[in-house]
Structure formats: structure tokens, C-alpha cells
Amino acid sequence: MKANAELTIIIPCYNEAENLPHVLPGIIRFCEDMNFRLIVVDDGSKDNTYSLLTALRSDCLEICRHSRNRGYGAAIKTGIRNCQTSYCVTIDADGQHDLGDIQALREAMAKEHADLVIGNRQGMGSSVVRNVGKRLILWFTRIFLKLPVRDLNSGMKLYKTNIVQSLLPFTPNSMAFSDVVTLVHFQLRYKIVERNITVSPRSRGRSTINWRTAVQTLSEIAFLVVNFFPFKVFSLLAFLFFLAGAAWGIPFVLSGKGVTVGSALLLLTSLVIFLQGIMIELLVRMRYQTYVHPNDAAEDDGESI
């Protein structure tokens, strides 16, 4: 590691051979000038991405490689696990991010005493389809969370390394990593702030993001919400079944025909779902009570005076 380096730039890449020769040399020079580390993770690319990476030489550069494609999140997690500096920032390999914004994120983290700083793209650099998917995911998340974030799945995020490394077991290997890692920070009461960043259009190569990515991300967030807030989800479902049972059964009861089998089944289902929600909520709380803040762990390891 370079002496006194305090920040590492992490770049996940998959089939970016067309972009890397134009993008990476500038990033390497930036890291050398700023005394940053750079970790590039080749996620099992099928083109000559890895050979291009190995041809580059710099004391600041570390190359990691997956033998097969494991996913965007898995590539970032590999980079974070190999990070040895106090802070790390993720950017994309397509050259869309402005390296000058990294300093703005660092200043925001120091000024706000934040644990995670998100680069807010302000709707820039995305197609109409991607913006719709982004808004849908954010709307879905805010149904259950009072999340103070406008760009949930931004690829540029500045982390405190020890914190994000402790949270990796809660995050997926898929493209949904960007969304989920933010939600995990939020749920565990870490401070999150946003700063506007500049995003340029991709000039070379082809994005791997499509409508399937949005569907996958939505399912990942639904999974996370159920795992962190099962009672909210199950109580909502139980309430809907209760309303359906009541709406079906009340007219029959008022007419003196008694409770129908259909309404009774709906009401019983609502009760079962409600009780399941309580049980799963208790299990989830027990699971996350074992999480230890890295700073607390360090204090516990210290000697008593």
C-alpha cells in the first residue's frame, strides 16, 4: 500500500475492454497525484478486459479477478474486502463519473460526520426507462421507510471502510447492491447524506443495465424490507385480507344469512398472516441484535484503565 493512503477507489468492470484504455489511465494518474489506492475488479469478463488491466503498471493499482461472472455487487464486495484504507469510494468503469466529485464527497463526510455519502446524479446520465425504474424502486422503498435519499442506486458512494465491510453479509451479489447497501446503513442507524455530482453520457461500450435489472432490484429490495420490517409487510397483507373478508361477509350478516365460508376463510387468513408477521419480526430482531458496530468492537478490544 502507498504510504499514508487513506482512500481507495473501487471500480467493478465486466466486458469493458472498449472503455478501459480511454478511462483507466486518467484514473491512475488521478490516484497517483492524490495518493489514493485503486482496486479494479474484473467480474469474469469474456472480452480482453483482464489482459488490458494486467498491461497497466502503477504502484497504486491492484487488480482482482473473478473466474466467472458473479454479479455487480459481488465485484464491489471483492473490492471492499481487499480495501485497506480508512475510506473507499465506488465509481463505474464507463467513465461517466467525474473524479473531481470525490473531494466533494470527502468534504461532506467530514463536515456532516456521515458514515455514507451518496453522489446524487439528479436524473443525469440515464435513459427514460432507467429513470422510471429508479423512481419506481425509490417509491416502493419509501412505502416502508422514511428514507432521506433521492438517488438510492447511485454507483458513486463514499464509505467508511470498516463500517461497510461489517455490512457486506447483509448485501446481495447482484446489481441491487447499490440499493441494498444504502438501506442497510439506514436500518442500522448510520448517518447518510447526499451531494450532487456530475454524470456524463457513456461514450463507448454498452451498458449491462436493462429492464430485467430493475425487476431484479425491486425483488431484492422487497426481500430486504421483509427481512428488516416483516411486521409492516405482513400486517399490511393481513389488513387487506381482513378488509376483503369484512366486505364480503358484512352484507350476508346484515341480511341474516350468517357468515359465509369465503368471508370466514379470508378473516382466518388475515389472522394467520398477522401472527406470522409477529413471529418473523421477533426472529429478525434477534438476528440483527448480534450486529456489533466496528467502533464498539474496537472499544471492547481495548484495555481497561
Does 214 share its domain with 267? no
The predicted model gives 229-252 an average pLDDT of 92
Does 183 share its domain with 290? no
Expressed as residue numbers, the domain containing 118 is 7-226
- How many angstroms separate the CA atoms of 38 and 11, rounded? 8
Is 207 inside any structural domain?
yes
Does 173 share its domain with 27? yes
Does 215 share its domain with 285? no
- Rounded CA Rg of the chain: 23
Does 35 share its domain with 48? yes
Does 93 share its domain with 215? yes
pLDDT digits (tens, 9 = 90+) for 81-139: 999 999 999 999 888 899 999 999 999 999 999 999 999 987 554 555 556 666 777 77
Does 83 share its domain with 194? yes
Is 2 inside any structural domain?
no
* pTM assigned to the model: 0.81
Does 110 share its domain with 167? yes
Does 178 share its domain with 250? no
The yes-or-no verdict on residue 18 having pLDDT over 70 is yes
pLDDT digits (tens, 9 = 90+) for 150-189: 888 899 999 999 999 999 998 989 888 988 899 889 988 9
Is 1 inside any structural domain?
no
Does 168 share its domain with 273? no
Does 216 share its domain with 270? no
The yes-or-no verdict on residue 239 having pLDDT over 90 is yes
In three state form, how does the secondary structure of 131-190 look? HHHHHHHHHHHHHHCCCCCCCCCCCCEEEEHHHHHHHHHHCCCCCCHHHHHHHHHHHCCC
Strands (E), the chain: 7-13, 37-43, 61-66, 87-90, 116-120, 157-160, 192-196
